[in-house]
Amino acid sequence: MRSTLAAAALALTCCLGGGTVWAKPVTVKIVAFNDFHGNLAPPRQSITAPLPGGGTAAVPAGGAAYLVSAIKRLEARSPNHVTVAAGDLIGASPLLSALFLDEPSIEAMNLAGLDFSAVGNHELDRSRPELQRLAHGGCQKLTTKQPCAVDKDFTGANFHYLTANILTETGAPLFDPYAIRTFGKGKGRVRVAFIGLTLKSAPEIVSPSGVAGLSFKDEADTVNALVPKLRKAGADAIVLLIHQGGVTTVGYNDKSCAGFTGAILPILDRLDSRVDVVLSGHTHEAYVCDYGRINPNKPFLLTSAGLNGKLLTDVTLTIDPAHHRVTGKRADNVIVQGEAYTGNRGPVPLQPTFPVFPADPAAAALVARYAAAAAPLASQTAGHLTGAATRVETLGRETVIGDLVADAELAATRDTKMGGAQIAMINAGGVRAELIPGAGGAVAYDQLFTVQPFGDALIVVSLTGRQIKDALEAEFPGANGQPGTIDSLMVSSGARYSFDAARPVGQRIVALTLDGKPVEDATAYRVTLNTFLAQGGGGFEALAKGTQPLGGPQDIDALQAYLSGAPVTPPTPDRVTNLSARP
Angle, nearest 10°, between helix axes 361-378 and 103-112?
170
Q: What pLDDT, on a 0 to 100 scale, did the predictor assign at position 455?
A: 83
User: 228 and 90 in one domain?
Assistant: yes
Q: Is residue 18 part of a domain?
A: no
Q: Which residue has the higher pLDDT, 379 or 6?
A: 379
Residue 16 lies inside a defined structural domain of this protein: no
| Per-residue model confidence as pLDDT tens digits over 60-99 | 999 999 999 999 999 999 999 999 999 999 999 999 999 9
Domain-terminating residue out of 345, 371, 397: 371
| End residue of a domain, out of 349, 371, 393 | 371
d(CA 125, CA 370): 22
CA distances from 451 to 110, 305, 413, 435 (A): 31, 27, 20, 7
Query: Where residue 426 sits, what CATH number does that domain have?
Result: 3.90.780.10
Do 434 and 562 reside in the same domain of the chain?
yes
Domain count, the chain: 2
Q: Supply the pLDDT for residue 287.
A: 98
Identify whether residues 356 and 386 lie together within a single domain.
Answer: no
Quick one: pLDDT at residue 14? Answer: 43
> Based on the domain organization, do 222 and 343 belong to the same domain?
yes
What CATH number is attached to the domain comprising 317? 3.60.21.10
Is residue 5 in a domain? no
Structural domain span for residue 313: 26-371
Higher pLDDT, 193 or 21: 193
Q: Do 39 and 88 lie in a common domain?
A: yes
Q: What is the pLDDT of residue 11?
A: 42
Mark whether 269 and 354 lie in a shared domain: yes
Query: Are residues 488 and 354 part of one domain?
Result: no
Query: What type of residue is 352?
Result: P
**Mean pLDDT across the stretch 31-44?**
96
| Domain contains 101 | yes
Cα distances (angstroms) measured from residue 121 to each of 110, 166, 188, 482, 484:
21, 11, 38, 32, 35
Alpha carbon distance 131, 126 (integer Å)? 7
The answer on 232 and 168 residing in a single domain is yes
Q: What is the CA radius of gyration of the chain?
A: 26
CA 428/CA 490 separation, integer angstroms? 7
What string of H, E and C letters represents the secondary structure of 173-206? ECCCCEEEEEECCHHHCEEEEEEEEECCCHHHCC
Q: Say if residue 540 is in the same domain as residue 509.
A: yes
Please write the tens of the pLDDT for every residue from 507-565: 999 999 999 999 999 999 999 999 889 988 888 999 999 999 999 999 999 999 999 99
pLDDT, the chain, mean = 93
pLDDT at residue 484, rounded to an integer:
65
Lowest mean per-residue pLDDT among 14-18, 176-180, 330-334? 14-18
Among the candidates 307, 337, 371, a domain finishes at 371
Whether residues 360 and 387 share a domain: the answer is no
* pLDDT at residue 259, as a whole number: 95
567 lies in a domain?
yes
Confidence band, pLDDT 50/70/90 cuts, at residue 487 = confident
Residues 490, 411 share a domain: yes
| Same-domain check for residues 394 and 358 | no
Specify the pLDDT at position 473: 95
Q: Residue 523: what pLDDT? A: 98
Q: Which residues contact 1 (CB under 8 A, 6 or more apart)?
A: none
Residue 15 inside a domain? The answer is no
3 within domain boundaries = no
Nearest to 301 by CA among 332, 325, 323, 270: 332
pLDDT for 6:
40
Give the separation between CA 455 and CA 94, rounded to whole angstroms: 8
Residue 571: inside a domain? yes
Q: What is the DSSP string of 340-403?
A: --EETTEEPPP-TTS--BPPPHHHHHHHHHHHHHHHHHHTSEEEEBSS-B-----TTS--HHHH
Is the pLDDT score of 581 beyond 70? no
Residue 185 has pLDDT above 70, yes or no: yes
